[in-house]
Amino acid sequence: MLSRLRHVLFLAAALLALSSCSSDDVSSNDTTIPSSRVTQAVAQLDDIVDDVMTRSGIPGLAVAVVHQGKTIYAKGFGVRQLGQPAPIDAHTVFQLASISKPVGATVVAAQVGKELVAWDTPIVQHLPWFSLQDPTATAQVTVGDLYAHRSGLPDHAGDELEELGYDRRQILERLHLLSTEPLRSTYAYTNFGLTAAAQAVAVANDTDWESLSDQALYRPLGMNDTSSRYADFMARTNRAFPHIRINGVFQTGSQRQPDAQSPAGGVSSSVTDMAEWMKLILHEGKYKGQTFIPRTALVPALSPQILSSPGSEGRPAGYYGYGFNVSTSAAGHKTLSHSGAFLMGAGTTVSLLPAADTGIIVLTNALPVGAAEAISMTYMDLVQSGHATRDWLETFEAVFAPMLAPRGKLAGRPFPEHPVPPLALHAYVGNYANAFYGNARVEDRDGKLVLIMGPAEQTMVLQHWGGNVFVFEPEGELVAPGSRSAVTFAMGSGGTAQSVTIEVFDDYGLGTLTRG
């Protein structure tokens, strides 16, 4: 089920570089773009935001733009929560989702600059308990490998365990059970692979990641709205609430708790704070004229480290650095970018254009529908060519549609009118387990089967589909609303189930749990 998400991330990263489609508009030999282009683009942002919000229906967002070391635009639009009057402003705090990755890479670069770690430091040097399936790869995989998503781990490795309530250490300790590709041979986006690297850097500093981020980046830059702790986000009075879309209508959703993968998806911030961070990145480690991070430590993160999305006709190739998407626009300019997405209600994006010394951050309080990217790319078009080259909202809505589609082989299908009846429920009741997912149990509660999994005791009510097949409606971050997961019991010769296969947890072939 996560394979569609990987495809969406590929396309989104490639499209984030595809602004200014005509290279005739700005020569690819230009190294700078006139400031007047930035001024003209900013003057149109209010109208751009109004159009995108009206057409997408999202409840609220905030935008900030920096240029030549100054914040020249920072505004909020809409409301923090549907049905409530509190408006979004430039200090409203949002969950950044995967924009946490480039932010965290900046924290790592600061430690590289202090020579406490290096991008090529082996993970096991600081996390001796960490391992991949291949012992050779375990010994060789580095901080940089994991920040570039080239460790060989499968895409989104470990996300299912987070959904079940496993903590960071428990998830990282299970990654060795997943089949891997050869080290540095391919790009596969992983939240917990990157989190392992961040954890190693924190251990090298004899602290935890959340404190390190605060001490190394947030406090020195005056980012007082920013934290890598979920509790801090929830304590904010001025914070955005998540929104999901059901049958085309937005409504307040459940709050995402991403502490387990904090380095990859757990930062919360305002556009005002993120503007300070953009200034630091655009000036390659200098902040307010002073060296904050040595350029030699930061630039590798801003440079291509692995091919992430092959090019095609009309679409340039995309690369990943250490925590950053790195591409060249059709106008010939280097772009740095990253998007973030929580299906539970957050869509974010950041784009940096060094040739114009400008960057834009867009944070929304709705699941990803392409609104943030549409605003960002329209701005980048205006800066590079003076006009929008396409309807970016329409483009990104099509890109994100597969991510938002219900998943599961039985999703959207009517229940059989005359299903093969199940066995007596006690035939399915029992304890099941495997090494990856741990223990699970199936219980009969008042004539209904329930499946209970993970430290969080996540409880899924099973509905009978036919024969030994049941289904449930997954909730949370793994799949979009409206999804349906099959739960298939395999029967033994004694008339009781010997194993159960859970579709939503079977992406890596590990979704079968055996009766204990």
430, 441 in Cβ contact below 8 A? yes
* Model confidence at 74: pLDDT above 50: yes
Phi, psi of 258 (to 5 degrees): -105, 25
Least confident of 26-35, 355-364, 445-454, 473-482: 26-35
Map residue 168 onto helix, strand or coil: helix
Residues paired with residue 341 on neighbouring β-strands, in sequence order: 347
The pLDDT assigned to 178 comes to: 97
Residue 44 pLDDT level (bands cut at 50, 70, 90):
very high
Structure tokens at 474: 């997954």
Structure tokens at 117: 């770690």
**pLDDT by residue (tens digit) across 224-244?**
999 999 999 999 999 999 999
* Model confidence at 20: pLDDT above 50: no
**pLDDT by residue (tens digit) across 179-228?**
999 999 999 999 999 999 999 999 999 999 999 999 999 999 999 999 99
Integer Cα distance of 264 and 158 in angstroms: 12
The pLDDT assigned to 25 comes to: 34
The pLDDT assigned to 317 comes to: 84
**Which domains can be identified in the chain, with CATH numbers?**
3-116+205-404 (3.40.710.10), 425-515 (2.40.128.600)
DSSP characters for 49-102?
Answer: HHHHHHHH--SEEEEEEEETTEEEEEEEEEBSSTT--PBP-TT-BEE-GGGHHH
Query: Between these two residues, 411 and 12, which has the higher pLDDT value?
Result: 411
The pLDDT assigned to 331 comes to: 83
Cα radius of gyration rounded to whole Å, the chain: 23
The pLDDT assigned to 17 comes to: 57
Closest-CA residue to 95 (of 250, 232, 195): 232
Least confident of 93-107, 174-188, 261-275, 310-324: 310-324
**pLDDT by residue (tens digit) across 377-416?**
999 999 999 999 999 999 999 999 998 999 999 999 999 9
Residue 29 pLDDT level (bands cut at 50, 70, 90):
very low
Alpha helices for 148-190 (secondary structure H)? 159-163, 168-174
**pLDDT by residue (tens digit) across 269-312?**
999 999 999 999 999 999 999 999 999 999 999 999 999 988 77
DSSP characters for 414-467?
Answer: PPPSSPPPPPPGGGT-EEEEETTTEEEEEEEETTEEEEEETTTTEEEE-EEEET
Tokens 């692979």 map to which residue? Answer: 193
The predicted model gives 78-96 an average pLDDT of 98
Integer Cα distance of 493 and 495 in angstroms: 6
Residue 32 pLDDT level (bands cut at 50, 70, 90):
confident
The pLDDT assigned to 13 comes to: 61
The predicted model gives 319-348 an average pLDDT of 94
Map residue 170 onto helix, strand or coil: helix
Whether the CA torsion 18, 20, 22, 28 is positive or negative: it is negative
* Model confidence at 23: pLDDT above 80: no
Helix (H) or strand (E) segment spanning residue 268: strand 268-269
DSSP class of 139: H
Kindly state the percentage of the chain with pLDDT values over 90. 88
Residues paired with residue 320 on neighbouring β-strands, in sequence order: 306, 325
The pLDDT assigned to 9 comes to: 54
**pLDDT by residue (tens digit) across 119-157?**
999 999 999 999 999 999 999 999 999 999 999 999 999
* Model confidence at 267: pLDDT above 50: yes
Integer Cα distance of 507 and 176 in angstroms: 16
Average predicted confidence (pLDDT) for the chain: 93
Query: Between these two residues, 31 and 263, which has the higher pLDDT value?
Result: 263
Q: How do beta strands 458-461 and 463-466 pair?
A: unpaired
Integer Cα distance of 229 and 212 in angstroms: 12
Most distant CA atoms of the chain, gap in Å: 79
